[in-house]
Amino acid sequence: MPRMRSLLLTAAALLALTAPLAAQSDYPNRPVRLIIPFPPGGSNDVVGRMVATHLGEKLGKQMVVDNRGGAGGTVGTELVFNAPPDGYTLGVVSIAHAVNPWLYKLPYDPRKLAPVGLMATGTNVLVIHPSLPVRSVKELIALAKQKPGELQYASAGIGSFQHLGTELFKLEAGVNILHVPFRGGGPSMNDVLGGHTKIMMSSLVQTTPHIKSGRLIALATGGKKRSPILPDVPTVAEAGVPTYEALNWWGIVAPAGTPQAIIDKVNTALSQVQELPEVQKQFDLQGASVQKMTAADFGKFVLAEMSRWERVVKEAGITAQ
């Protein structure tokens, strides 16, 4: 098996060496595979599929979505990493991509993946169950300082953005709140709605219905600016933790060595897709907003995110594996 694989890899590499010359001008001349490193149904999948449909139209060839879930997104991203760098295999990455290097021993170097572009960013909301006797971030911090380690927050699991976003909050605010991990976003939300755990930081799309119905109270949002969906809710920075910023984001990467011309072509097509009103509307409904970036800027963005979460993982002492 390994021999077969290495033979194939060599063949692929040889092809890759000769192919770009011919391929760049007529790229794409066959369907492009977009690997989504999570199973169907999650935010990565929704965002990725939405973009894939339109991106395929703009590029003139179908874009085939390939869900390869497992191990916090590392299984699928490894596939992208090992794919021939001909532009016919692209991958979706998210905030997990910037967190995984510090949680897992990765079989690939995430910094070596070629950045293609940012698709969108999403806002997180810090919510509490109404039975918790606080109504602002300052009151929450005061209560947490009064009872260190006694308040509890729910997350979708170790290393999830709900977990890291709250850990960042704890670091910046200097408080100790107990982490209660769950198996996924749904179960954790159920628990907070039942008032068993009382604090959670989660996505806009997951929390908004419950904020509107009064079952949860929004204390703050995690971005730099207020969210247009919850205009009355301050940002965490406004509400008393000025250094806080944590966003969800989704972007596209390619295997290292993918020709720049192809990357630019996909990036241009992506920014055209981002301008489509229906795409913007769909993102709005997901509590996310499109954000354009050149491939180079996206590369810098990913590196900045990696160092942000490296600090949180190390200072908060988060371990997996």
Partner 1 sequence: MDLFNNLIFGFGVAFSLQNLMYCMIGVSVGTLIGVLPGIGPLATIAMLLPLTFNVAPVGALIMLAGIYYGAQYGGSTTAILVNLPGETSAVVTCIDGHQMARQGRAGPALAIAAIGSFIAGTFGTLLIAVAGPPLAEMALKFGAPEYFSLMLMGLVAAAVLAQGDMIKSLAMVAMGLLLGIVGTDVNTGVQRFSFGITELSDGIGFIVVAVGVFAVGEIVANLGDPAERRFFTDKVKGLMPTWVDFKASIGPIIRGTAIGSFFGVLPGTGPAIASFSSYMVEKKIAKDPSRFGKGAIEGVAGPESANNADAQCKFIPMLTLGLPASGVMALMLGALTIQGIQPGPEVMTSRPELFWGLIASMWIGNALLVVLNLPMIGLWVKLLKVPYRLLFPAIMAFSAIGIYSVNNSSFEIYLTAIFGVIGFIWIKLGCSPAPMLLGFVLGPMMEEHLRRAMLMSKGNASVFFTRPISLGFIIATIAILAIIVLPAVRSRRSEIAG
For binding to partner 1 (CB under 8 A), which residues are involved?
39-41, 45-46, 49-50, 53, 66-71, 74-75, 78, 103, 107, 152, 157-159, 178, 180-183, 185-187, 189-191, 193-197, 205, 208-210, 212-213, 215, 282, 285-286, 318-321
Nearer residue to partner 1 within complex by CB, 194 or 242: 194
**Residue 66 vs 238, nearer CB to partner 1:** 66
Smallest gap, in angstroms, from Cβ of residue 5 to partner 1? 12
3-class DSSP state for residue 120? strand
**Closest to partner 1 by CB, 123 or 286:** 286
116 close to 122: Cβ distance less than 8 angstroms: no
- The token pair that represents 77 in the structure block: 């991203």
Shortest separation between residue 53's beta carbon and partner 1, angstroms: 6
Beta strands 248-254 and 114-122 are: antiparallel
Q: Which is nearer to partner 1, 148 or 242 (CB)?
A: 148
CB 165 to partner 1: min, Å = 17
Nearest to 46 by CA among 203, 210, 216: 203
Closer of 23 and 103 to partner 1 (Cβ): 103
Report the alpha-carbon angle 64-186-159, nearest 5. 75
Of 23 and 312, the one with the shorter C-beta distance to partner 1 is 312
Q: HSE-up of 66 (CA within 13 Å, CB side)?
A: 18
Q: How far apart are CA 72 and CA 78, in angstroms?
A: 11
Say how far apart CA 264 and CA 27 lie, in whole Å: 11
- Strands (E) across the chain are located at 32-36, 63-67, 89-94, 114-122, 124-128, 152-155, 178-181, 199-203, 217-221, 248-254, 288-290
Q: Which two tokens stand for residue 121?
A: 């960013």
Q: How far is the CB of 276 from partner 1 (least distance, A)?
A: 13
Residues of the chain by 3-state class (helix, strand, coil), percent to 5:
50, 20, 35
Q: Which SS3 state, helix, strand or coil, does residue 118 take?
A: strand
Least CB distance to partner 1 at residue 160 (A): 10
- Find the shortest distance in angstroms from Cβ 271 to partner 1: 21
Yes or no: say if 163 and 181 are a contact pair by the CB < 8 Å rule.
yes
In whole angstroms, the minimum distance from the beta carbon of 117 to partner 1 comes to 21
124-128 and 199-203 strand pairing? antiparallel
Radius of gyration of the chain (CA): 21
Least Å distance between CB 158 and partner 1?
Answer: 3
What are the tokens at 38? 């999570």
Residue 267 CB, nearest approach to partner 1 (Å) = 23
| Angle 60-64-69 from CA coordinates, rounded to 5° | 150
Q: How many residues does the chain have?
A: 321
